[in-house]
Structure 1
Amino acid sequence: MNRHTPLAAAPARGLAVAIGLTATLALTGCSSGGGSSEQPELSVSSAYMPQPVSDLAAGFLVITNRGGGADKLTSVTGDLSDDITIHKTENQKMMEVTSFDIPAGGELDLERGGSHIMFMDIKRRPQQGENVNIELHFEKGDPIAVELPVKETTYNPAQQ
C-alpha cells in the first residue's frame, strides 16, 4: 500500500479544501443567527430640553435606527436628576413606561404632547443656552451620550 500522495494531486486537494472552507464561511455569514445586518444601528438627532420653570423638566429627541434589527429604549440617566423616567401621553394623561420600541429601519420620536423623557426633582434649573448631559440605555445597543441644549420654555420645533 502506497501512503505517498503524488505531487500533482496535492495542489488539487488543497484547492478543494479552500473552496469548501470559503463556501462554509459564506453560508455561515448568511445564517439567521445574528449577523451584523440584524443589529440595531442607532443615532440621535433633534435633541432639546425646554427651560424648566419648576423642579420638573422634559427632554425631547429623535432616535433613528438604520440597522436591520429592532431595539428598545429602556432607561435614561443623567446628572440633572436621580429620577429620570420615560413617559407616553395618551388621552392627555402622562404614563410612565418601561421601554419604547425602536423598529428596524424606523425611528422613535420623543416630542411635545407625546412620548418624552421626564426629569423629576431636578437638582438645578438649567438656563437657556446651557446643555444637559444624559445617557440613553437600550435593550441591545450600546448606551448613547446625548447633550440636550436648553431652549426657551415655549420652544417647539414643530412650530419653527
Structure 2
Amino acid sequence: MAQASRKRPVTLLRGVAPAAALVAAGLALTACSGGGTSDAAAKPAGSGAPKLAVSGAYMPQPVGDLAAGFLVVHNSGKGDDKLTSVTSPLSDSVSIHKTVDNRMVEVKSFDIPPGGSLDLARGGNHIMLMGVKHPPKQGQSVELDLHFKKTGAIKVTVPVKAANFQPPATP
C-alpha cells in the first residue's frame, strides 16, 4: 500500500543524484497537460455521491527505477471525493505528490470536487513510483489502482509512452 501519510519535500535541484533519477524527476516536472485515454470508470453513483471517471492516463517510459504517472479524474457526480492513495504491482512504493517551488511534496490526498476534476500532470500534481521492479518499455501498459475515500478503488490501465511524450493540448 502507498505510504502517503508523511509530507516530505524532495529537493530536485540541490545535491548530487544519479543521472537516471534526475531525468525521471525532470520528466515529472516538465510542464504539459493531460491527454490520451484510459479504460477506467467508477461504480454507479447515487444522488449526492461522487461519480468518477479517469481519462488521459499515461506514463513516460522510466529511465531507471523511478516512474511518474499522469491522468485526469473527472467527477460528474453531486458529491466530492478524495484520491487517498495509489497502488501498483510495478512498485511497492507508490505515492502522490504536489509540486511546490520546483520540489515534490508527498501529500495524503487530493480533493475532487463535484463537477470538477483532478489533473495529475507534468509540472504539477502527479503519481510517483519508486523502486520500480521491472521498468516497462514504450508500448507496454501498467496497472494502477486509484483508491478514493468514497468511491473505493478504480483500476486503470496506463499506457507507457516515450520518455519525451507530450500529450495533445485540450481546448
> Structure 1 length as normaliser, TM-score?
0.76
- The residue that corresponds to 2:14 in the other structure is none
Pairwise CA distance, 1:142: 2.4
- The residue that corresponds to 1:5 in the other structure is none
Deviations 1:6-51 (A, max 9, x none): xxxxxxxxxxxxxxxxxxxxxxxxxxxxx92210000000000000
- The residue that corresponds to 1:118 in the other structure is 128
Pairwise CA distance, 1:54: 1.0
1:128 pairs with one of 129, 138, 141: 138
Task: Give the superposed CA RMSD.
Answer: 1.5
Matches within 5 A, 1:1-160: 36-158=46-168
**Structure 2 spans left out of the alignment, 5+ residues:** 1-44
Q: Letter of the 2:62 partner, please give it.
A: P
Distance across 2 between alignment mates of 1:131 and 1:95: 26
Distance across 1 between alignment mates of 2:94 and 2:62: 14
Aligned to 1:119, the other structure's residue is in SS state strand
Contact 1:112 1:156 in 2 (8 A): no
Aligned to 1:52, the other structure's residue is in SS state coil
The structure number with the bigger radius of gyration is 1
Distance across 2 between alignment mates of 1:135 and 1:42: 14
Q: Letter of the 1:94 partner, please give it.
A: M
Aligned to 1:37, the other structure's residue is in SS state coil
Structure 1 runs (4+) deviating above 6 angstroms are none
Deviations 1:32-91 (A, max 9, x none): xxx922100000000000000011000000000000000000000110000000000011
Contact 1:74 1:138 in 2 (8 A): yes
Contact 1:68 1:104 in 2 (8 A): yes
Q: Letter of the 2:126 partner, please give it.
A: H
Higher relative helix content: 1
Pairwise CA distance, 1:159: 6.0
